[in-house]
Chains A and B, each alone.
Chain A
């Protein structure tokens, strides 16, 4: 099952994860050439009134809906923000402190305390960073972590031979001087399946990663090494786009984020002959993520590096605030499976790391117990749940909905992928629900390791002896319940929007969505059971 789809249709938004830069550039230029003969503005897609179902075997499916709701141009509201983003040194100034901190973490993992809760790598990355990422950065900053991520630092440096500046020139279709192999990533692999597998593989070893600093070190050093090697062979951020496990989950949940980087006017983009956002210019590098701003309609594959803000000759790129969960369309199987995997893993993490099930911890903690067969069974259960069980449940709900919808037939694949989006708000809020107790119960360890980053008995800020102090642990189940309910609410609201974009008839949309809604409620109940167990 391949999701690779060369995208050459100008009206279909491009997915940079699927399309080569040459294809996108050709499509973009064709669009510019056709300007004047056809409008680039999209038509409203959500029908304003119900129409009778088509008599044919399959009705024509409405194209994806335009984002609705309010948008605030943050560059206009806060001009300083735009000035900062236009600085060539903007990203470097953010990444360098992060490089320093991660370097300290790596040293601590090797030479610091071997116990997880006394090691700064474990405590900051898996407690504080994870909490901030999932609770604040992703919902309110989209992929802003990718802006400051230190993992591709060396890869970018090798590829650009610049830490701050930009090199005009010509490298293939790009108008920048780039180094390294600059090869195109194989078409068959232009999807996020590898990211899905990577995240799932990391999750299987979660108990090890969060208790043994050396294990986390190995995981991170592999990522840094891979990002660097990939940058030397393939062009742009190939590692980030196709392999990084963290990128995969950020990609999925950034759809719900309340900010987006978009062009201010699609018409300006359409008339633009340079396509500098895609190819680079004297002011900025070609988009490392391969995004063409005229077609960007989802946050998934925009790493917020702000190069397009600098390279756009028309000053047409801006950062917008928007309502929660505005991007509501998954487009391919790999994205749907990402949603399944993340949904199951939110539950698995809660059970394994925070749950009262000692025997599960023992199964997961294979390096301590040496119970390889138990770990194999644990892994098999997770893999089957992620890749088979939940997708089958989803398929059953979607199939039932399709039958209930009546005569208006929408392809099962479209329904399957479309409704998988409902797992984005459910999953994101489940991860938030998981992260709250993580921080509330274990947050005091962060104070300890900040004063004693190596676990060598230091007390830099006088907090090394701070006792383990769970914050209101008795309130945790109530907070989790509230968060999960908000997730369910958004899933139902947005799921219905998806249904309306798939079905022309309101009643058919509702009937189609009903079984999915039931299964979402069931899923939330399962979350509630395990989270509050």
Chain B
């Protein structure tokens, strides 16, 4: 009896599936793109507040900033429409929303006129939409308010041009032109390219559980890096490179500073053990831990590297005797390491007198996406 019922059910199922098979295949091929389109173009924009001026901007380390949607298909195109002055225009009093999307690596956003991205780095992570929202409460100068990338995201020549302008027109036609002029004066001071913050009066905790003042490094040439002890691959290689540097510059006045980006796990005791595994000379190579927020701040503001909990750049940062960042080098790239060695020799030869060298932004290293590195 049971068998008969089951057989009938099975036959019925076969019959229904047979009848609906072609229909279900057609439904699949039409339904999937339709559902995507509906959700993205119909539902999602409604999430933004009514009346807000929404601009979606794609940030690419090889292309700059564009309003073209960058996707898998067109990523290989050589040219997208660059963002021109006047492309983004709002009126005074408008609510402005920037939807910032990275097409490749981590970028940073700053718009000094509205105090955005100066105190804290606004990261534009691949895959996330970073929303920046503000009221355009002042009229811009004719060229607009400048915004730009704050993280060394790729080739210097492209990074340097990663900027755009938001034009804020007077709310009414009768608004005076003077407003624009005033705004220009007000903003001019703020639009300078952000420089790395000097590590003055900043301290962390060493592997000896002692407070370590960065001021103590003044007068020494040193190389900074970020790591975490539980990293299974990149950090080991990174620290092996530093260990080699320590040996090669044994007789020279070079110090190495390795800062964990996982201070919760990396206590001074763990750092002590970890440093011993690299034969770190405690006088020349310090491993630091401390408050996570402070470490993130040091990473982004003083070294201008994308640092997050258990996530970090694998670059080495060369700092001279005056505490100036001289360059960054990809630790996992032998060519860069060789370049670092040559530069170290040069910087060591400069002596302890203050030089007139201006701090330079990190060089044209290819800052691989942290996320991509994990693949």
Contact = CB atoms under 8 A, between A and B. Distances in A.
Q: Verify that A and B bind, or say they do not.
A: yes
A164 B22 CA distance: 10
B216 interface: no
B36 A355 contact: no
Given A113-B127, A164-B21, A214 B375 contact: no
B39 A458 contact: yes
Interface stretch (B197-205, B232-240, B275-283, B357-365): B232-240
Contacts, number: 157
A99 interface: yes
B345 interface: no
B366 to A, nearest CB: 8
Interface stretch (A53-61, A286-294, A404-412, A447-455): A447-455
Contact of B374 (A114, A455, A468, A477): A468
A380 interface: no
A14 to B, nearest CB: 31
B375 A116 contact: yes
Contact of B128 (A109, A164, A457, A473): A457
A407 B244 CA distance: 55
Contact of A441 (B14, B18, B104, B232): B232
Nearest to B73: A110
A111 B44 contact: no
Nearest to A456: B40
Interface string A98-130: 011001100111111111111100000000000
A99 to B, nearest CB: 6
Contacts of B233: 354-356, 533
Contacts of A456: 40, 44, 129
B371 A115 contact: yes
B236 to A, nearest CB: 6
Interface string B104-119: 1000000000000000
A455 to B, nearest CB: 5
Interface residues of B, number: 54
Nearest to A121: B72
A87 B14 contact: yes
A465 interface: yes
B10 interface: yes
Interface stretch (A3-11, A357-365, A423-431): A357-365
A527 interface: no
Contact of A213 (B72, B128, B330): B72
Contacts of A470: 230, 232, 310
Interface string B295-306: 000000000000
A477 B232 contact: yes
A212 interface: yes
Interface stretch (B27-35, B171-179, B188-196): B27-35
A103 to B, nearest CB: 5
Contacts of A103: 28-29, 32
Name B's interface SS: mixed
Contacts of A92: 17, 21
B332 A358 contact: yes
B311 interface: yes
Interface in B302-352: 309-311, 314, 330-334
Interface in A334-367: 353-359, 362
A100 B13 CA distance: 21
Central interface residue in A214, A356, A470, A473, by most chain B CB within 10 Å = A356
Given A211-B372, A214-B75, A456-B40, A93 B17 contact: yes
A457 B21 contact: no
Nearest to A437: B232
Given A87-B10, A468-B374, A110 B72 contact: yes
16 contacts: A107-B33, A113-B71, A114-B75, A114-B103, A115-B104, A115-B372, A117-B127, A354-B233, A358-B331, A359-B334, A437-B232, A454-B36, A457-B99, A467-B309, A468-B310, A468-B371
Given A104-B36, A442-B374, A455-B126, 12 more contacts: A86-B10, A87-B13, A99-B28, A115-B104, A115-B126, A115-B371, A116-B372, A211-B375, A356-B237, A358-B237, A359-B332, A470-B230
Interface of A: 83, 86-89, 92-93, 96, 99-100, 103-104, 107-119, 163-165, 210-214, 217, 353-359, 362, 437, 441-442, 445, 448-449, 452, 454-458, 464-465, 467-468, 470, 473-474, 476-477, 533
